[in-house]
Amino acid sequence: MSHSETTLASSKAPSSLSADQRVTVALTGASGAQYGIRLIECLVALGCEVSVMVSKAAQVVIATETEESFPSASDKLQAYLVERFKAESWQIKVYGRENWMAPVASGSGAPHKMVVCPCSTGTLSAIATAASNNLIERAADVALKERRQLILVHREAPYHEVHLQHMLTLTRMGALVMPASPGFYHNPQSIEDMVDFIVARILDQLGFEQKLMPKWGE
């Protein structure tokens, strides 16, 4: 995806931006930080506005698994991500874990599309029980109660009974539990290829045209 094709010169979101092009992405502390980072990159390249939340544990995982160094302060992280993805400033909004004034904290500003990627078992369980103890959990709860799209890119192995119960509960409530388990039939040559496998499936679910990975049979 070419970034230059999709970004705009203005720092204000264009009035033509549809609700479907506003996507909320939360990174939590499961292994697989690269999935979330690549997802944000692709959404920016697609011209979306991306609301970003990063849990404390995700900060640790990002530092452990990648060369990235995400600042913990929201304003600094926002500036870092805008620079990192060469985004227009309107494209990335970062909200802190207790920013209850964020639009996504309320039904009136509910995210139309929210992806928790990667999704830790802790956050999955908190969403299943409507805990809402931080903004990520609250935004996901709002997405569910407002019947919006919620995708949970969970990573854990193996599962015990409560994990499976929570996944069933969430599925029945309308969330999509999408395990971060890349296939191998596209003959991946690199970690990036495996990351793109999952990100392509997420973009397919969100309804975006993606060229990362052909659909089966193409």
Binding footprint of ligand FMN on the chain (CB under 6 A): 28-31, 55, 57-58, 60-61, 64, 120-123, 155-156
Nearest to 36 by CA among 9, 68, 74, 73: 68
Nearer to ligand FMN, 109 or 122 (CB): 122
Nearer to ligand FMN, 158 or 217 (CB): 158
- Rounded to a whole number of angstroms, the minimum distance from the CB of residue 77 to ligand FMN is 15
Cα gap 120→72, rounded to integer Å: 19
Nearer to ligand FMN, 66 or 89 (CB): 66
Nearer to ligand FMN, 78 or 121 (CB): 121
Q: Please, what is the end-to-end C-alpha distance for the chain in angstroms?
A: 18
Q: How many CA atoms lie within 13 A of 146 on its CB side?
A: 20
150, 193 Cβ separation under 8 angstroms:
no
Helix (H) or strand (E) holding 52: strand 49-54
- Rounded to a whole number of angstroms, the minimum distance from the CB of residue 153 to ligand FMN is 11
Token code pair at residue 139: 């935004």
Nearer to ligand FMN, 22 or 166 (CB): 166
- Rounded to a whole number of angstroms, the minimum distance from the CB of residue 64 to ligand FMN is 4
Q: In this chain, which residue has its C-beta nearest to ligand FMN?
A: 29
- Rounded to a whole number of angstroms, the minimum distance from the CB of residue 131 to ligand FMN is 11
Cα gap 195→42, rounded to integer Å: 12
Strands (E), 104-175: 113-119, 149-154
Cα gap 186→182, rounded to integer Å: 10
Nearer to ligand FMN, 30 or 50 (CB): 30
